[in-house]
């Protein structure tokens, strides 16, 4: 072994020993959060940050890591920025400056996560993420854990769920669907299984298929085509709040708002609190959104703690994931009675529970498969009702019943 390699190995061994020592003394156990706190996705990172801080405070107030003599969790925050290069650089600084990290989570955007986890994997740091890309857990990594159903799975599930909701509400299966989306690679990936077999298997005819380059300058032509095509529902696959706003306003102008034409969006950007300030509430009413997680009726007390603390109007997708990831790391550290990152990762690979942090997901299970994907992860459907997004699917976790608008 070279002197440099030997020094690196000794350094990692020393870091592991230090992590166990500080825990045994009941001092602190460090976990990292790497999310965008600057740039276009900063708001999403801030929503994660607020919930993560709350989770750490609650863990510590409840006695910390009891199997380690009451060791306190310490959250170290790093900015992933707005590009894969910045996320990778931040991850490298994080690893270099904090050799005794027990684990971490982030980076919200899949592109940022793909870059950062190249670094965390080499450091054998267990990493939890809400990011959707299938590529994240298709690389053979052993220390990356994807809590969301991956994008390909979400795409396969959403059409059957839409058909189920529509049929229950109207007694009639939809026959015609329409798409409006941008040419983001994530959208193309999401649509691929639908185009390949999803629409055909569901018995749907695609009557409009409008793909644009973001940002959307004017939605008039697109919405005119939708009005002529008369779909039974619309998949609205824009990927930023500005285009979301423009699209719902133009749909409303042409009498095709979510109250009349069922509109199904995808992703947490549809549900950031700012969107209700950017457009009239009636433009969002009835809008359905598919995504990886949302608080349901079982989380009312947790949501109240969050909204009381932060003054945010609701506890949503980004926040519940950050809260859950802190609690999952805490559970793994507690069970292994160690802050050694390798032991934490091993516990995450073997854990299979239906209580504790598992209850922060609608399906109620916490277990990861050999790829690092959470077993049994299912998509959630949220709907704007009376000016606020509420979970309407899955039914067992839902806090409200879905409303299926009558088509125009």
Q: Are 209 and 237 in contact (CB under 8 A)?
A: no
Per the prediction, the chain carries an average pLDDT of: 91
Question: What are the start-end ranges of the E strands in 238-395?
Answer: 263-266, 288-291, 352-353, 366-367, 380-385, 388-393
User: Where residue 22 falls among pLDDT bands split at 50, 70, 90?
Assistant: very low
Question: Which of helix, strand or coil describes residue 48?
Answer: helix
* Predicted local distance difference test score (pLDDT) of residue 268: 83
Task: Please say whether the dihedral angle defined by the alpha carbons of residues 215, 292, 372 and 69, taken in this order, is positive or negative.
Answer: positive
Mean pLDDT, rounded, for 44-53 = 96
What whole-number distance in Å separates Cα of residue 96 and Cα of residue 22? 19
Which of the four pLDDT bands, split at 50, 70 and 90, describes residue 4? Answer: very low
pLDDT at position 26 is 52
Note if the pTM is more than 0.85: yes
Residue 153 CA neighbour count, 13 Å, CB half:
20
Which two structure tokens, joined as six digits, stand for 270? 């549809």
d(CA 303, CA 319): 10
The whole-angstrom separation of Cα 344 and Cα 70 is 17
Q: Is 289 left (phi over 0), alpha (psi -120 to 50) or beta?
A: beta
Domain 152-291+380-393 has CATH 3.40.50.2300: yes
Q: Quick one: pLDDT at residue 1? A: 42
- Residue 251's Cβ-side half-sphere holds a number of Cα atoms within 13 Å equal to 32
225: nearest Cα among 284, 191, 178, 261: 178
- Smallest Cα–Cα separation from 229: which of 193, 253, 205, 259? 205
What are the tens digits of pLDDT across the range 289-342? 999 999 999 999 999 999 999 999 999 999 999 999 999 999 999 999 999 999
- At 56-83, the pLDDT tens digits run 999 999 999 999 999 999 999 999 999 9
- Nearest Cα neighbor of 34 from 84, 70, 73 is 84
Residue 352: other Cβ atoms inside 10 A: 10
Closest CA to 134 of 116, 162, 154: 154
**Mean of pLDDT values over 263-281:** 90
* Residue ranges of the chain that CATH labels 3.40.50.2300: 3-149+297-367, 152-291+380-393
Helix axes 42-61, 300-310, angle to 10 degrees: 110
Across the range 203-216, mean pLDDT stands at 94
- In which element (H, E) is residue 181 found? strand 176-182
Average confidence (pLDDT) over 120-146: 96
What kind and span of H or E run contains 318? Answer: helix 317-336
The C-alpha atoms of residue 185 and residue 233 are separated, in whole angstroms, by 23
pLDDT tens-digit series, residues 217-249? 999 999 999 999 999 999 999 988 889 999 999
The answer to whether 190 and 237 are in contact (CB under 8 A) is yes
CATH topology of domain 3-149+297-367: Rossmann fold (3.40.50)
Contacts of 285 (CB under 8 A, 6+ apart): 257, 258, 259, 384, 385, 386, 387
CA distance 287 to 233: 11
pLDDT digits (tens, 9 = 90+) for 124-136: 999 999 999 899 9
Q: Which helix (H) or strand (E) holds 121?
A: helix 110-122
Is residue 20 scored above 70 in pLDDT? no
CB neighbour list of residue 118: distance below 8 Å, 6 or more residues apart: 88, 91
Pairing status of strand 388-393 against strand 380-385:
antiparallel
């Amino acid at each position: 072994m070279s002197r440099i390699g030997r020094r690196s190995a000794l350094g990692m061994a020393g870091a592991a020993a230090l992590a166990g020592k500080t825990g045994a003394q009941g001092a602190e156990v460090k976990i990292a959060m790497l999310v965008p706190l600057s740039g276009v996705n900063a708001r999403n990172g801030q929503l994660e940050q607020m919930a993560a801080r709350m989770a750490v405070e609650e863990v510590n107030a409840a006695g910390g890591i009891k199997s380690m003599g009451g060791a306190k969790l310490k959250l170290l925050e790093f900015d992933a920025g707005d590009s894969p290069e910045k996320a990778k650089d931040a991850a490298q600084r994080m690893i270099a400056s904090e050799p005794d990290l027990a684990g971490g989570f982030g980076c919200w955007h899949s592109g940022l996560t793909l870059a950062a986890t190249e670094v965390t994997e080499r450091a054998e740091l267990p990493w939890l993420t809400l990011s959707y890309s299938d590529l994240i857990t298709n690389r053979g990594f052993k220390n990356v854990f994807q809590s969301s159903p991956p994008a390909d799975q979400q795409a396969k599930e959403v059409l059957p769920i839409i058909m189920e909701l529509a049929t229950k509400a109207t007694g009639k299966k939809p026959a015609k669907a329409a798409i409006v989306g941008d040419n983001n690679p994530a959208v193309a990936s999401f649509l691929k299984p639908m185009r390949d077999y999803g629409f055909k298997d569901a018995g749907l005819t695609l009557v409009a298929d409008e793909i644009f380059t973001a940002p959307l300058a004017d939605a008039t032509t697109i919405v005119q085509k939708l009005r002529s095509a008369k779909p039974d529902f619309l998949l609205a696959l824009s990927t930023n709040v500005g285009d979301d706003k423009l699209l719902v306003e133009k749909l409303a102008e042409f009498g095709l708002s979510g109250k009349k034409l069922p509109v199904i969006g995808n992703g947490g950007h549809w549900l950031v609190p700012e969107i209700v300030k950017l457009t009239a509430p009636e433009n969002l009413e009835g809008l359905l959104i598919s995504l990886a997680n949302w608080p349901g009726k079982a989380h009312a007390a947790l949501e109240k703690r969050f909204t009381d603390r932060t003054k945010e109007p609701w506890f949503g997708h980004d926040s519940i994931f950050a809260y859950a990831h802190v609690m999952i790391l805490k559970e793994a550290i507690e069970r292994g009675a160690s802050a050694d990152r390798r032991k934490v990762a091993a516990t995450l690979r073997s854990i299979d529970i239906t209580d504790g942090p598992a209850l922060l997901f609608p399906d109620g299970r916490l277990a990861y498969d050999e790829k690092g994907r959470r077993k049994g992860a299912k998509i959630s459907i949220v709907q704007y009702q009376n000016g606020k997004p509420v979970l309407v699917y899955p039914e067992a976790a839902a806090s409200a019943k879905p409303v299926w608008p009558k088509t125009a």
